[in-house]
A and B are shown apart, each in its own frame.
Chain A
Amino acid sequence: MKRLVSKTKWPGICLVLLISCSSPSEYDLSYSWSPVKISPDIAASDQVEAIISPYRSQLDSIMNEVIGYAAHDLTSQGQYESTLGTFVTELLLTQSISAYDLDVDVAIMNHRGGLRAPINRGPITLGEVFEVMPFENQMILLEMSGETLLEVVEHIGKSGRSMIWPVSFRVTESGLKNIRLNGKRIIEDQNYILSISDYLANGGGGFEMLRPLKKLDIKPIMLRDMIVQEIKQRAAKGDSIKAELANLVTVSEQ
């Protein structure tokens, strides 16, 4: 508990108050603060529990379904690449290619900020995936020139909040170097197809350059559904989820 006395109240209008009323017109405010940690030591309110209970039962019956297994913890920690970001961007590309039956070239995910919880080692429940991707984002496809794609990669290099699969580059003090898509140069006047969430495609996360782009005429699939699908497909094959950093991004001085 701390306290501090602060400032004069209403120095400007005290005169008026002195004329119109005879009560004191100036106050000091003293503040004390004492945040309460909501810890397991505090007994739950029965009344509130009673309201939650039917909702929780309904939710648990759906969300506790185990849909697969994680071989290790996957998190979104890491500036340019993370294990969870690697897992998600890679699956967004492969799932988009098979779902839309198109030669999709790259997939983007704002792994820092967009993936809201880790996937913990062990059984993965449907509820866990909802915590990773709570948003009702839909995956859409954008067609763009190599020139715009390079601009997108530059933005990712600068902001360091998103991953683009499978693009490699080197971050240097004078900008990005050696930008490659599957080891090949990105050709400025060639067209590329990008799989991305509608949130980012509408300019979210600083992707302003994507707003004017043409969206391909496909039936969008929910981002979360793609993640669920991937985990289920791997479980059906007896595979667990694992992701290693591909080290697509390197940082050097020159």
Chain B
Amino acid sequence: MKRRQFILRSLAASASVAVSPLVLSSCQPNLNGRKLTILHTNDMHSHIDPFKEGRNKGMGGMAARASAIEKIRATEDNVLLLDVGDVFQGTPYFNMFGGELELKLMSEMGYDATTVGNHEFDNGLDGLDHAMQFANFPYLSANYDFSKTIIAQKVRSYQVFNRGGVKIGIFGLGVGLQGMVNPALSGNTVYLDPITVAKEMVQELKAQKCDLIICLSHIGYEYGNSAIPSDKRLAQEVSEIDVILGGHTHTFMDEPLLLTNSEGYTTTINQVGWAGINLGRIDVEFTAKGKGMVAYNPILLSNKA
């Protein structure tokens, strides 16, 4: 509410200036200066608690992550909190409770969406179906065809979100099942080529006039064998995906990769390792072309609570 009042005030203040009719025109909101904060995790693998020992001792933990997210929400208006799959499997919490606690906590933190990683199949489709009742956010997966399974109604290809007037189209992609998931567990799930499906998704989301397209990709960052679909191949072969949030390969990236493909389109790829050791944060700002960067204050984050 506060934000809206602020915007209205700015419009009033600029009413005498010649640009105001442009701003007030009806069909396309002026995105100049709009900001969006994307927070993301991948491959949390049931790490509810911080690591008890080893080189990651003390790192991670969902209660600490919740505090970090809360702190960001206190200063940012337009936050998207996204996960890229493999929420399940890796600690006894999953063996004992089948993913119930992980999804309850993600719901509490206000996750906006996740996708289906290969380990989401670990207790079979029945197990996934049962656990999904504890998630109050959607599962997005465009290249797993679940239509002949019991979770057909519970997974969508994509969803369009609105944050502060910015339309964000988000779709999910999953890794090849053969040799990865026991067929007894994935049942009648059909895997479709992620590159082909991504092209269809971009068309669909563009038709819906999305300002930003994000892919939740559990297909993996890159492989020695370039025939295997990966995030890098996806960015090279499919234009107009703005951000690929990755997973599966547990890749810790020092900074996102901005990959410009042969059509000149640049996609930002990021992945934050695994086990909830890091919370990824990408801030996107829309700037009118030709005006250069608007004044932008980097948000300095302290780890201290």
Contact = CB atoms under 8 A, between A and B. Distances in A.
Interface of A: 1-9, 17, 20-45, 47-49, 51-52, 55-56, 58-59, 62-63, 116, 118, 120, 127, 130-131, 134-136, 198-199, 202-206, 208
A155 to B, nearest CB: 12
Contact of B279 (A1, A38, A131, A135): A38
Given A33-B256, A41-B303, A43-B305, A204 B25 contact: no
Contact of A42 (B31, B32, B90, B305): B305
Nearest to B88: A134
Interface stretch (B77-85, B155-163, B176-184, B197-205): B176-184
**Most B Cβ at <10 Å: residue of A3, A30, A202:** A30
5 closest A-B pairs (Cβ-Cβ)?
A44-B63, A43-B305, A45-B66, A26-B289, A1-B298
Contact of B288 (A26, A31, A118): A26
B105 interface: yes
B30 A24 contact: yes
**Most A Cβ at <10 Å: residue of B49, B66, B298:** B66
B104 A33 contact: no
**Most B Cβ at <10 Å: residue of A4, A31, A130, A206:** A31
A8 B289 CA distance: 7
Interface string B48-74: 111001100011111111111010100
Given A26-B289, A27-B289, A136-B123, A41 B304 contact: yes
B301 A36 contact: yes
Nearest to B62: A48
Interface of B: 21-23, 25-32, 46, 48-50, 53-54, 58-68, 70, 72, 89-97, 101, 104-105, 108-109, 122-123, 178-180, 182-184, 211-212, 242, 255-256, 258, 260, 264-266, 268, 270, 272, 276-290, 292-293, 296, 298-301, 303-305
A120 B105 CA distance: 29
A59 B125 CA distance: 24
Given A33-B256, A40-B58, 12 more contacts: A22-B21, A24-B288, A30-B285, A33-B283, A36-B303, A37-B278, A38-B65, A42-B64, A55-B97, A131-B92, A202-B183, A203-B178
A36 B68 contact: yes
B182 A198 contact: yes
A24 B32 contact: yes
A16 to B, nearest CB: 10
A41 to B, nearest CB: 5
Given A26-B288, A45-B66, A51-B108, A118 B305 contact: no
Contacts of A63: 92
Contacts of B46: 134
Contacts of A198: 182, 184
A130 B268 contact: no
Contacts of A2: 255
Nearest to B67: A45
Contacts of A24: 22, 30, 32, 288-289
**Most B Cβ at <10 Å: residue of A22, A36, A47, A136:** A36
Given A135-B122, A199-B182, A25 B28 contact: yes
A29 B286 contact: yes
Nearest to B289: A26
B258 A4 contact: yes
**Most A Cβ at <10 Å: residue of B46, B68, B72, B123:** B68
**Most B Cβ at <10 Å: residue of A118, A127, A134, A208:** A134
B298 A52 contact: no
A7 B21 CA distance: 27
Contact of B299 (A1, A6, A206): A1
B197 to A, nearest CB: 22
B50 to A, nearest CB: 7
Contacts of A39: 58-59, 64, 303
Contacts of A49: 63
15 contacts: A1-B299, A4-B258, A9-B286, A23-B30, A27-B31, A33-B282, A36-B278, A37-B277, A43-B67, A45-B64, A47-B108, A51-B101, A52-B62, A203-B178, A204-B179
